[in-house]
Amino acid sequence: MKVDLHCHTDASDGVLTPLDLLSRARANSVDLLAITDHDTVKGLQSLTKLDTGSIRLINGIEFSCHWQNKEIHVVGLNFELEEPKLIKFIQSQQELRKQRAIRIGEKLEKIGYMDTYSAACINGKTESPGRPHFAEALVQMGVVSNQKKAFHRLLGDGKSGHCKHEWPNVSEIIQRIHAAGGKTVLAHPSRYTISDRQLEQMISDFADLGGDAIEVISGRQNPLVTQKLAKLSVGHQLSASVGSDFHRPGQPWADLGCCVPLPSQCTSIWADWIA
């Protein structure tokens, strides 16, 4: 079975529309798919009335939150899409994103790059654009030659256009997803800039707070990393998830639905959903 439980549409910082993403999933023979846009379910909502054929679509979202004052991402899966408290909370995350984006625009203005907030809004088709939409604006303005450089020079952690942000704590995210009937997955554990000891602490805390799974497979990763994460998931009695973190065709890490299978010792987060 081909599973991909982490990807993005143009409802956040992906480039494909939800319909085009589904077509790509079909072309890549995906059986189980979760669309997990950053702090929004808008893409997903546009598909609720659609017959997705052989693809089983799982409700998903990727929440921005804090663990020990570090920004981390938690994927929520298989929650009730219409749950009023969750919908309201997602609106508050969008408002936080908007306030952050305005501040990023102000910071960039101070160092001479004007009107990036409005350009980012146009790029993201939203008032709450993400950093990739600012990166795109900086490329369009000729400030940098590509988005990676925009993050490296201006938008990455600690750079002059970066805003430290007051995201909710990871515990709140776990509680809110559970209250809407969903499961919680620590996203791309190996992508945070932390030591191995901190990584183990993060996973241990996530388990203690009631988190359900970690992404043992994220995009294309070193098999040694996969082994390490499989061991941590088993050791902390967490289930395991798989996600490409697909944003756009041609991205260097993994195409939609094109991840390696979970190591055999892992318990998949989706085992109960397909029974």
- Which residues are near ligand AMP by CB under 6 A? 13, 38, 64, 130-132, 147-148, 151, 156, 247
Tell me which of ligand AMP, Mn ion, none is bound by residue 131, counting a contact when its beta carbon lies within the kind-specific cut-off of 5 to 8 angstroms: ligand AMP
Task: State which residue, 138 or 174, has the beta carbon closest to ligand AMP.
Answer: 138
List, as own/partner pairs, every contact residues 124-133 make where C-beta atoms lie below 8 angstroms and the sequence separation is at least 24, other chains included.
Answer: 124/12, 124/13, 125/10, 127/98, 127/101, 128/39, 128/94, 128/95, 128/97, 128/98, 128/101, 129/97, 129/101, 130/12, 130/13, 130/38, 130/97, 130/101, 131/13, 131/104, 131/155, 132/13, 132/247, 133/13
- How far apart CA 228 and CA 213 sit, in angstroms, is 15
Tell me which of Mn ion, ligand AMP, none is bound by residue 189, counting a contact when its beta carbon lies within the kind-specific cut-off of 5 to 8 angstroms: none
Closest contact distance (angstroms) between CB of 8 and Mn ion is 6
Point out which residues bind Mn ion (CB under 5 A). 13, 62, 73, 187, 245
Closest C-alpha among 23, 62, 33, 38 to residue 259: 33
Closest contact distance (angstroms) between CB of 181 and ligand AMP is 25
Task: State which residue, 56 or 191, has the beta carbon closest to ligand AMP.
Answer: 191
Closest contact distance (angstroms) between CB of 63 and ligand AMP is 10
Tell me which of Mn ion, ligand AMP, none is bound by residue 169, counting a contact when its beta carbon lies within the kind-specific cut-off of 5 to 8 angstroms: none
Closest contact distance (angstroms) between CB of 155 and ligand AMP is 8
Minimal CB distance residue for ligand AMP: 130
Contacts of 74 (CB under 8 A, 6+ apart): 62, 63, 65, 170, 173, 174, 177, 184, 185, 186, 187, 211
Task: State which residue, 168 or 266, has the beta carbon closest to ligand AMP.
Answer: 168
Tell me which of Mn ion, ligand AMP, none is bound by residue 67, counting a contact when its beta carbon lies within the kind-specific cut-off of 5 to 8 angstroms: none
Closest contact distance (angstroms) between CB of 130 and ligand AMP is 3
